[in-house]
Structure formats: structure tokens, C-alpha cells
Amino acid sequence: MHSSGYRRLANQPFVTYGLLGITVLVYLLETLAGGSTDTMVLLQFGARYNLLIEAGQWWRLITPIFVHIGLMHIVVNGVTLYYLGMLTERIFGHWRFFVVYLLSGITGNLASAVFNSTGLAAGASTSLFGLMGAFLMLYDTFRDDPQITALAKQFILLAGLNLVMDLFMSGVDIWGHIGGFVGGFLIATVLGVPRFTSSRVRQVIAAVVLVVASGAMVWAAFGAF
């Protein structure tokens, strides 16, 4: 019974539930603190702002993933995280999913910091695009599997459509989305999926590109630390 209960728990997307719970909790705290569209509240809860990162608040490359601006922002990203997160966690496993989600959020925020240097940014979309980028890795790796490629195509198309829409919408951080997507692809290539990893050469190339590109973005946005 104990073993069966453990297996049922292990098969649940508890990382997705945890990330969603934290995201909703942060939004509620924003609302209680004065409103999720108030600039000071957003900064208080960790929105990305380059001048504060340059002052040593490097954690603002992580915390924006959990901060949202307005009700529609949290609803859209929350629903996307719930459905896309459950599927991605089931395919990649708990810890790989968590690493892709977190690190692609950071690469997205770095890209945002480079190309949107004067603005304030927040939202889980950098990480969500990272999950879509992970499906590009699946498509590239499992081209002989029609089920996986069909599923991957759906999310690659979704990412493409969203990026096109970003071009015509004001206030959308398209560079954060692109940075998250590319980061998700590279991170997923390095990590692989359970019982299958990319070739060692592909892993090394992806890791080198990820580290070099991230370092270049840090230098471009903030100069040498």
C-alpha cells in the first residue's frame, strides 16, 4: 500500500502544482499590497529592473517568473502553466521539468534585460516559452516517432503564433519570450528525457552555447560584475 501510494504521488505533476500555487500566492500578495499594476508593488515583489540588478539584486532575474501585472496576465499564464506544465512534467520528469522552467525563465529575463533595458518586466511567459522550446528539442530528437512529433508541432506552432502576435501588441516583451524559447531548447537538449539523452556532442554544444550566450547577455546588459 505504501509503495503504491508513493508511485501514485510520483506520477502526479506536483512540481506544476507547486509552481502554480506559488504564482497565485504571489499575485494575491501583490493585490493585498496595493495592486498588481502598481509599479512600486511590482518592484517590491521582484519585477525585473536593470538598475536594481546592477545594484546587486541579481535575484531579479528569477523572481519575475512569479510576478504578474494585472488579472488577465495571471489568468492567461496560470492556465497555460497548468496544462502545458502537466504535460511537460509528465514527459521530462519532475526535476528536469523544474530545471527547464527555472533556467529558461532566467535566459528569457536576460534577453529582456538586454533589449528592454529601461523597462520593468514580469511574468511566467519567459518560462512558458521555455517549455515550448523544450518541445522543439523533442521534435528534433524523436523525428521517427509520429506521436511525439505531432505533439511537438502543436506547441512549436503555438510559440510561433504567439511571437507573431507579440509583434502587433504593445507592452509585450517579445525578447523575453524569444530568450525563454531558445533557452528552453538548449536546456532540454542538455538534460534529455528519462531513459534517453541526446548524443554527448549535442549536449556539449548546447551547454557551451547556453553558457556563452548567457554570459554575453549578462555582459551586454550589466557589464562585468
- Residues 182-205 have pLDDT tens digits of 999 999 999 998 877 778 899 999
The CATH code for residues 2-222 is: 1.20.1540.10
Per-domain residue ranges of the chain: 2-222
pLDDT (average), residues 85-99: 95
Q: How far, in Å, CA of 211 to CA of 143, rounded?
A: 27
Catalytic residue among 125, 127, 198, 214: 125
Rounded-to-integer distance, Cα 36 and Cα 151, Å = 35
pTM exceeding 0.85: yes
Catalytic residue among 73, 177, 198, 214: 177
| 199 is a catalytic site residue | no
Structure confidence by residue, pLDDT tens digits, 14-54: 999 999 999 999 999 999 999 999 999 999 999 999 999 99
Q: How far apart are CA 177 and CA 188, in angstroms?
A: 16
Tell me the pLDDT tens digit for each residue of 142-182: 887 788 888 888 888 888 887 877 666 667 888 999 999 99
Active site residue 177: yes
Q: According to DSSP H, which parts of the chain are helical? A: 2-10, 14-33, 39-44, 50-54, 71-92, 94-115, 125-141, 146-166, 174-191, 200-222
* Segment (H or E) for 144: none
